[in-house]
Chains A and B, each alone.
Chain A
Amino acid sequence: MSLNYDLPEEAVMMRDSVRKFAEAVIRPKARELDEKQEFSPEITKQMGELGLFGFCIPEEYGGNGIGYVPYMVAVEEISRVDGSQGATVAAHNSLGIGPLYYFGNEEQKKKYLPPLCTGDKVWGFGLTEPDAGSDAGGTKTTAVKDGDEWVINGSKMFITNASTDACLGVTVQALTGTRPDGKKEYSCFIVENGTKGFEARTLHEKMLWRASITSELFFDDCRVPAKNMLGKQGEGFHQMLDTLDRGRLSIAAMGLGCAQGAYELGLKYAKERKQFGQAISTFQASAFKLADMYMEIEAARNMLYKAAWLCDNKRDEYKVLSTMAKLYCSEVAHRCVNHSLQLLGGYGLMKEYDIERLYRDQRLLEIGEGTSEVLRLVISRAIGCYKV
């Protein structure tokens, strides 16, 4: 009888390699890109060369097929240094590449996946709308069949990786009719960048993830060929939910990485900073903060890796675990950036110190891909709270 908590040796090597890359390539540029609100296609391409895109995609489509556990480790290591680049990796893999691979047909996979897996191109995922966030059922974007084409009208909000020349296209969910049971019917479509009637505009002046590109999508009588439907008509809602279940893993990994990065910055500073003639890490008020951070990060990491392991082993329980991991990791990150910034005091408020950026980067994690409130609803439903 044995329980093994060791990461595979290759995953440890991957962590080393990704950390080295993040420290050498991303850290020196992160502050400037954040300040200038600049998405970097170069870094995206370099992350592609490192192998950070296509974790669950077989080699025949250009992926590396190594699974969710190493994917978590990679997102964690990038996010430990910078939330923006972590967001590019998480969104492109889970939301861009994921649905194309899981629901696309052979022709679509062969056409789109290879350039997405190299990092030459990125792909957006259009679910959220200006008036439909947590209530995804409130989607207003429509697609109407006209001969051999679908005509899409509507708009999407807060879409990562869509308004850049590096964007190859987007997956968009639209209302396509009414199901036999009277409920709304949703389907997903592939819309290539440059399609007439489709426009993606960059959203500027974000508080965080400023070097990740966030867009608003507009569809104005946008016509796509019928073969651009992803999967079958009416599967859109299920496809989106499935994508979000898996996507939560990567947001959890971003939270874990952010927490780890904040903890390390806090510990280093507290050991160096002297007040009243001694390092502030020797004051219990500081030391206990660091002890709490260390403990919670350990718990968060165990929960996330377990969820990823369940996902790799195609076990359905991963859905609740990924929900809990996303909720927990993002809230641990909240507490860690808060403690760490407190340890840095006034310096923590200055842009010169990375904790200032991590503090901002953390905030989205409790909102995107399921708010903490919605996630608590999902968990409480799963344990049967409302079936009395």
Chain B
Amino acid sequence: MNIYVAIKQVPDTEASLLVKDGVSINETDIKWILSPYDEYALEEALKLKEKIPGSTVTVISLGPNRVESAIRTGLAMGAENAIHIETAEPFPDHKIIAAALGNAIKQDAGYGIIFMGKQAIDDDSYLTHIYLAEHLGIPVATNVIAFNHDNGKVVVEREIDEGAREKIEMSVPCVVGATKGLNTPRYASLMGIMKAKKIPIKKLSLQDAGIAQLDNKIKREKLYAPPEKPQGRIIPGEPEDAVKELVRVLKEEAKVL
């Protein structure tokens, strides 16, 4: 089976982000990583490959040059092929992203299962895997916490409200949106990293991926950090007086009582 994993490069969870021009972040000095949900997706794909002899895992990503390091990480973890759809800048319309990914996968080879994270940890859109399935006309399961493939059928468990689970069966090909808990992703071994260096990455332009014109239907208006938490206030005095003052503050200033 030709297994695909669509991955996204995102800022490190520990990076402190600064808004540059009101709509994007300052990318200088940011450490970039493979989005953690995509790591679960990739791990599941690699496990499936090990189960079905003759399978291949291809990682595919869209974005500027820097995305190549996330692709190399995917290869180092054990994928054997890679596709990079090169764009000058990231753009926010996930429908176009999904179409480009879908077209690139379609022209690459006959695809079986496409894994990806249910969301990227930077823009938290939860959209691309659904759009991708829609674009290809195949079923999709979101929030997948357990995956099984047997006799050509996929059975997944989805995490739904308050930890309840839904078990569904899908035909192949299909898209699987991975969530935390699906597995424990492997670490890129040092041998894997050396091997990944030698694997050629198939480079495509947006045009190559069937997007003749970039017709963004979505525009980001503004990007801003949450307001800083105001300092806590300590009400001094004897407990009896302090409580009275607290009640007054809650009533008159905070207006919560």
Closest residue of chain A to B186 (Cβ to Cβ) is A49
* Max chain A Cβ within 10 angstroms of own Cβ: one of B69, B191, B193: B193
A84 to chain B, nearest CB (A): 20
Question: Which chain B residues border A50 with CB–CB below 8 Å?
Answer: 187, 189-190
Let me know if A14 is at the binding interface, CB within 8 A: yes
Q: Which residues of A contact B69 (CB under 8 A)?
A: 9, 13
Cβ-neighbour of A66 out of B33, B73, B76, B194 (below 8 A): B194
Residue A70 is within 8 A (CB to CB) of chain B in the complex: yes
Q: Check if A343 is an interface residue, CB within 8 A of chain B.
A: no
Q: How far is A74 from B187 in the complex, measured between Cα atoms in Å?
A: 14
Pair A10/B193 contact, Cβ less than 8 Å: yes
A234 is an interface residue with CB less than 8 A from chain B: no
**B202 within 8 Å of A (CB atoms):** no
Minimum CB–CB distance from B246 to chain A (whole Å) comes to 22
Closest to A13 in B: B193
* Residues of chain A contacted by B191 (CB below 8 angstroms): 51, 64
Interface bracket on A: 10 to 19
Instruction: Say yes or no for A17: interface residue by CB 8 A criterion.
Output: yes
B146 on the A face (CB < 8 A): no
> CB distance A13 to B73 under 8 Å?
yes
Is the beta-carbon distance between A64 and B187 smaller than 8 angstroms?
A: no
Interface 1/0 per residue, B176-219 and A, CB below 8 Å: 00000000000111111110010000000000000000000000
Smallest CB gap from B73: residue in A: A13
Q: How far is the CA of A206 from the CA of B33 in the complex (A)?
A: 40
Write the chain B residue with the least CB distance to A17. Answer: B188
Verify A64–B194 contact, CB threshold 8 A.
yes
Q: How far is the CB of A163 from chain B (nearest CB, A)?
A: 28
Q: Give the CA-CA distance A66 to B194 in the complex, in Å.
A: 8
Task: Say whether B72 faces chain A, with CB atoms less than 8 Å apart.
Answer: yes
Per the bound structure, the CA–CA distance linking A47 and B218 in Å amounts to 46
**In the complex, A127 Cα to B20 Cα: how many Å?**
60
> Which residues of chain A are within 8 angstroms of B76 by Cβ–Cβ distance?
13, 17
The distance in angstroms between the C-alpha atoms of A77 and B189, with both chains bound, is 14
Question: Using Cβ atoms and an 8 Å threshold, which residues of chain B touch A13?
Answer: 69, 72-73, 76, 188, 193
Contacts of A269 in B (CB 8 A): none
Residue A20, interface by CB 8 Å? yes
> Which residues of A have CB within 8 Å of B190?
14, 17-18, 50-52, 64, 66, 70, 74
Interface: A21 (CB within 8 A) = yes
Give the docked Cα–Cα distance between A80 and B80 (Å). Answer: 32
Most chain A CB neighbours (cut-off 10 Å) among B72, B190, B194: B190
B193: chain A residues within 8 A (beta carbon): 10, 13-14, 17
On chain B, the residues within 8 Å of A52 by CB distance are 190
A269 to chain B, nearest CB (A): 16
Q: How far is the CB of A278 from chain B (nearest CB, A)?
A: 13
A9 to B188, CA, bound (A): 14
Known: A10-B194, A10-B197. A51 touches B189 (CB 8 A): yes
Interface string of B160-190 (1 = CB under 8 A from A): 0000000000000000000000000001111
Q: Which of A9, A10, A17, A70 contacts B187 (CB under 8 A)?
A: A17
Per-residue B-contact encoding for A295-331, CB less than 8 Å = 1, 0 else: 0000000000000000000000000000000000000
Interchain nearest-CB distance for B153 vs A (Å): 32
- Give A346-369 interface residues, CB cut-off 8 Å to B: none
Annotate A63-78 by CB proximity to B: 1 below 8 A, 0 otherwise.
Answer: 0101000100010000
A49 surroundings in chain B (CB, below 8 A)? 189
Collect the chain A residues with CB atoms within 8 Å of residue B194's CB: 10, 64, 66
Let me know if A20 and B73 touch, CB within 8 A: no
Q: Encode A2-34 as 1/0 by CB contact (under 8 A) with B.
A: 000000011001101110110000000000000
1/0 per residue, CB under 8 A from A, across B48-86: the answer is 000000000000000000000100110010000000000
Minimum distance in angstroms from A80 CB to a CB of chain B = 15
Chain A stretch 126-171: residues in CB contact (< 8 A) with chain B: none
Which residues on the A side are within 8 Å of B189 (C-beta)?
17, 49-51
Chain A residues whose CB sits within 8 angstroms of the CB of B197 once the complex forms = 9-10
Question: From residue 64 to 123 of chain B, which have CB atoms closer than 8 A to chain A?
Answer: 69, 72-73, 76
Distance in angstroms between the alpha carbons of A134 and B193 in the assembled complex: 40
CB of B15 to closest CB in A, whole Å: 13
Residues in chain B near residue A20, CB distance under 8 A: 187
Residues of B within 8 A of A16 (CB): 33, 73, 188
Specify which of A9, A21, A51, A66 lies most central, judged by the most chain B CB atoms within 10 Å of its CB: A51
Q: What separation, in Å, do the CA atoms of A49 and B69 have in the docked complex? A: 22
Residue with the greatest number of chain B CB neighbours at <10 A, chosen from A18, A50, A66, A74: A50
Give the docked Cα–Cα distance between A16 and B193 (Å): 11
Bound-state Cα–Cα, A120 to B216, Å: 54
Which residue from chain B places its CB closest to the CB of A12 in the assembled complex?
A: B69
Most buried by B among A16, A70, A74: A16
Q: Specify the chain A residue showing the minimal Cβ separation from B12.
A: A16
A66: chain B residues within 8 A (beta carbon): 190, 194
Given contacts A50-B187, A64-B194, 12 further A-B contacts (CB under 8 A): A9-B69, A13-B69, A13-B193, A16-B33, A16-B188, A17-B190, A50-B190, A51-B191, A51-B192, A64-B190, A66-B190, A66-B194
Listed by A's residue number, 15 A-B pairs whose Cβ atoms lie within 8 Å are: A9-B197, A10-B193, A10-B194, A10-B197, A13-B73, A13-B193, A17-B187, A17-B193, A18-B190, A20-B187, A50-B190, A51-B190, A64-B191, A64-B194, A66-B190
A-B residue pairs, 3 tightest by C-beta: A51-B190, A17-B188, A51-B189
Residues of A within 8 A of B (CB): 9-10, 13-14, 16-18, 20-21, 49-52, 64, 66, 70, 74
